[in-house]
Amino acid sequence: MNEAAQTLDGWYSLHLLYNVDWSSLRLLESEEVNKMVTELQSFLERQEEVHQKNEGSYSFYNITGQKADLILWMLRPTIDELNTLELEFNKLAISDFLIPSYSYVSVIELSNYLAKDSDEDPYQNEHVRKRLYPEVPKSRYICFYPMDKRREGNDNWYMLDMEKRRELMYSHGMIGRGYAGKVRQFITGSVGLDEYEWGVTLFSDDMIQFKKLIYEMRFDEVSARYGEFGDFFVGVNLPAEELPAFFM
């Protein structure tokens, strides 16, 4: 049997995407919309408090295009907390005007392809902890998509030996590192949790950097030969204070 990659698993992750039911929303008095927006703002303020205490993190963006209008990404130590938060969100008045369009369940994952040998417990390593329990940035733009590694005929990632996968991931990582300071990347693993094997969530203050990074990777063997992709969702940061203008 082939050697499985070892993973370090951090916070659980829930991506929730919604379309706004604009035509129903338009029928409401502005006072009613105001009330709902205030309630949503206080939900987001609670997310911000948890984020500040580093007990979890979140982001809230306005998705471009018709696949969705909003993405709420939440990270927490347990799936139970995410379940409770999802329920809390569903019970907000504004949720009556939000149509679920996509969701993704996964967990922040670091693999051992490029890890250095060490006797130290990685879960105690400061640098590793920062990546397992990350502070999600409030960059201007987000890009989220789920993906698989191909398992077809001669192109079966899972049949490659560890050494070969390590070599390929090294090349992948080097491309990624070329975008240090321009794109922040979060890889969440979802084998056994959701439809694809990973969620990729990227942040940048320059939308074109997503295209440049993903395009460059597409020519690298890991993506060219083994990458399979779900839908891509991109959007613009939606701070709580901009919600009244967004909904009215």
Point out the residues that are catalytic.
145
CB nearer to ligand 76R: give 11 or 18.
Answer: 11
Q: Is 107 in the site for ligand 76R (CB under 6 A)?
A: no
The residue assigned the tokens 């399979």 is 228
CB of 113 to ligand 76R, least distance (A): 5
Q: Where are the beta strands (DSSP E) in 4-86?
A: 7-20, 57-63, 70-76
Structure token digits, residue 175? 């491309």
Instruction: Check whether 148 is labelled as a binding-site residue.
Output: yes
Q: How far apart are the first and last CA of the chain?
A: 58
Compute the distance between CA of residue 107 and CA of residue 188 in angstroms, rounded to an integer: 5
Q: Is residue 122 exposed (0-12), middle (13-18) or buried (19+ Cβ within 10 Å)? A: middle
Instruction: Check whether 161 is labelled as a binding-site residue.
Output: no
Binds ligand 76R (CB under 6 A): choice among 86, 176, 193, 244 = 176
Compute the distance between CA of residue 106 and CA of residue 14 in angstroms, rounded to an integer: 7
Q: In angstroms, what CA-CA distances link 39 with 12, 77, 101, 214? A: 25, 25, 22, 37
Contact pattern for ligand 76R over residues 193 through 222, marking x by CB under 6 A: -----x-x------------xx--xx----
Position 104, amino acid: Y
Q: Is 104 in the site for ligand 76R (CB under 6 A)?
A: no
Interacting residues with ligand 76R between 71 and 90 (CB under 6 A): none
Q: Is 227 in the site for ligand 76R (CB under 6 A)?
A: yes
Instruction: Check whether 146 is labelled as a binding-site residue.
Output: yes
Q: Which stretch binds ligand 76R (CB under 6 A): 40-48, 106-114, 134-142, 239-247?
A: 106-114
Structure token digits, residue 155? 């192109």
Instruction: Check whether 145 is labelled as a binding-site residue.
Output: yes
Structure token digits, residue 166? 């390590």
CB nearer to ligand 76R: give 53 or 116.
Answer: 116
Interacting residues with ligand 76R between 139 and 158 (CB under 6 A): 147, 149
CB of 117 to ligand 76R, least distance (A): 14
Can you tell me whether residue 189 is helix, strand or coil? Answer: strand
Instruction: Check whether 131 is labelled as a binding-site residue.
Output: yes
Binds ligand 76R (CB under 6 A): choice among 65, 77, 100, 173 = 173
Cβ pair 119, 40 in contact under 8 A: no
CB of 218 to ligand 76R, least distance (A): 6
Cβ pair 205, 141 in contact under 8 A: yes
Instruction: Check whether 172 is labelled as a binding-site residue.
Output: yes
Compute the distance between CA of residue 14 and CA of residue 78 in angstroms, rounded to an integer: 11
Structure token digits, residue 214? 């993903």
**Which residue ranges make up the site for ligand 76R (CB under 6 A)?**
5, 111, 113-114, 147, 149, 169, 172-173, 176-177, 179-180, 183, 185, 187, 198, 200, 213-214, 217-218, 223, 227
Please report, in range form, the residues annotated as the binding site for Fe-coproporphyrin III. Answer: 131, 145-149, 172, 185, 223
